[in-house]
Chain A
Amino acid sequence: MGVIRRHGSFVLRVNPILCDGFGHCAELAPDLVHLDEWGYPIISPEPLPMADLGAYESARYAERGCPRQALHVARLHEPEGAQHPVSRSSRPSD
């Protein structure tokens, strides 16, 4: 496994137009996704820290496992004044 950069955050997003409610995401990432009564995923829009490797990995599983390719793990740049002010300047830019 290569070097994992743990700074910054990520968010799992669904394209609701592509999503057909297969529900695989809720099985692959049960902590991040739950399904509504019609079988469509409800995902918190709150970014999660990259340091939470377990969550990141399951988000990636869900992304890869979606038969409609409707899921996307978006990596976010750190907002101003985030937890890693020192590493920000030394971090290679995305």
Chain B
Amino acid sequence: MIEARALPRLFAGAGTRPSTLSEHEELFAPAPSTHGLLEELEASGLLGRGGAGFPTARKVQLIRAQRGHKYVVVNGMEGEPAAHKDNRLLSTNPHLVIDGAEMLAQMVGASRIAICVARDNPTVVNHVERAIHERERRNLRGPVIDLHTPPWRYVAGEESALVHWLDDNESLPQYRPKKPQVLRIGRGAALVDNAETCAHVALIGRYGAEWFRALGTEGHPGSTVVSVTGAVGRASVLEVNLGTSLRSILATAGADPDPQAVLLGGYGGAWLRGDLLDVAYCNEALAPHELSVGAGILAVLPRSACGIAEAHRVVRWMAHESARQCGPCAFGLPALADDLLQVLRGGSEGVAAVARLRDRCAVIEGRGACRHPDGVVRFVRSSLEVFREDVDAHLRGAVCAGARSSQRYLMVPALEHEEDLIWE
């Protein structure tokens, strides 16, 4: 039993190698029956940790009400370049994630579990493979657990793209006019949950809703895992109490104590100004700033950096990561990146580009099959707002030391040739 108010929960007993099944059961107790778990899950108020923050119990109820056979899909794709939480979790306590997936499978009546890890993370794939194998030797009944390794792409971890891959080997988002739309593999309904969400379910199943709520806030209960990158001594993954001040989280991670801004929610997220760090880290407190916890990414930008130069690089890469299925995303995102480059170059071209950016954001928003373009629009708008001074300096033609420096804070993978992009 883990003490209710103690941290870490998900990383309890974490060592340098993944815990074995027997170590896991010794630490957390064997998984109990799922009798009454759905009520418990509802009472826990667990919100999905994949980014959208949807109540997990509601999702379970939606899939449970479907007919036919069902799947549980564990999303460990970690599409955000700045995120490391699912990899870390699957590399330390993989059995906690799998326990949660089994409990979800029993709740919805699923016969199969698909654990998805990008094939570009061979170490994590290995750890999960070994954990599944360990359980196979033990488990005589229960759902079949398979490991799936889609290619790593930003949108490959988007739930409809993930289900598409499982259904038809293509990591491309699907068009879903109905809301909420049940995603299907063949004819079977799929419950897609983030790996961290599954791990929380495993703990709620063991210790109950009240235990879970001993941490976090009323509207955003529990602990959560954050990946801190950017101007930090060393990029780190921390499990934190929801509702703690952002400042204290950043201090624990050893981040720059007086940053210019912090990016929340990943490359489709938005910036929080450096003078607002005393905000509590939970969706309730972040909502007035039009921010959310998202997938737990915190990227710290120091005052010396140029926000627009960073934004341009990120948007260029996000445009590159478009699945190129929808016109507004395939053409709109590169146009946004070009505009940001014009702003960086400044002058009258730059002034026109700022106006164009605002117009194009409005045109692009809401017109993709998935939310990829909407995320980029949010990021661009927030960058223009928070880095207003950087924008003005560039338009005036002032020398921007940050833009000239080779130091980068938001990491993006190298751009590949278009024909080298792998989607299957």
Contact = CB atoms under 8 A, between A and B. Distances in A.
A40 B369 contact: no
Interface in B182-222: none
Contacts, number: 45
Nearest to A13: B177
B367 A38 contact: no
Given A38-B331, A40-B327, A74-B177, A16 B369 contact: yes
A72 B325 CA distance: 18
Contacts of B367: 16, 40, 42
Interface in A10-25: 13, 15-21
A16 B332 contact: no
B328 interface: yes
A38 B332 contact: yes
B247 to A, nearest CB: 40
Contacts of B327: 16, 19-21, 36, 38-40
B365 to A, nearest CB: 11
Contacts of A39: 327
Interface string B365-408: 01111000000000000000000000000000000000000000
Contacts of A20: 327
A16 B328 contact: yes
Nearest to B331: A38
B4 interface: no
Contact of A19 (B174, B326, B366): B326
A45 B329 CA distance: 18
A52 B157 CA distance: 42
A19 B367 CA distance: 11
Contact of B325 (A17, A36, A38, A42): A17
Contacts of A42: 363, 367
Interface in B328-365: 328-329, 331-332, 335, 363
Contacts of B175: 15-18
Interface string A23-46: 000000000000011111010010
Interface string A76-91: 0000000000000000
B369 A36 contact: no
Interface residues on B, range: 10 to 19
Nearest to B360: A37
Contacts of A36: 327-328, 332, 363
Per DSSP, are chain A's interface residues mostly helix, strand or loop, or mixed? Answer: loop
A16 B326 contact: yes
A17 B330 CA distance: 11
A19 B363 CA distance: 16
Contacts of A40: 326-328, 331, 367
Interface string B86-111: 00000000000000000000000000
A40 B367 CA distance: 10
B328 A17 contact: no
A76 B238 CA distance: 47
A7 B270 CA distance: 42
Interface in A44-70: 45
A17 B155 CA distance: 14
Given A36-B363, A38-B331, A38-B332, A17 B177 contact: no
Contacts of B328: 16, 36, 38, 40
A38 B327 CA distance: 7
Nearest to A45: B366
A17 B174 CA distance: 8
A24 to B, nearest CB: 14
**Which of A36, A39, A45 neighbours the largest number of chain B CB atoms within 10 Å of its CB?**
A36
A74 B332 CA distance: 27
Nearest to A72: B177
Nearest to B373: A16
A47 B177 CA distance: 14
A17 B369 contact: yes
A22 to B, nearest CB: 11
Nearest to B368: A16
Nearest to A39: B327
A38 B398 CA distance: 33
Nearest to A15: B175
A72 B175 CA distance: 13
7 contacts: A13-B177, A16-B369, A17-B326, A37-B335, A38-B331, A40-B367, A72-B177
Interface of A: 13, 15-21, 36-40, 42, 45, 72, 74
Given A16-B175, A17-B369, 10 more contacts: A13-B177, A16-B369, A17-B173, A17-B325, A19-B326, A36-B328, A36-B363, A37-B335, A39-B327, A42-B363
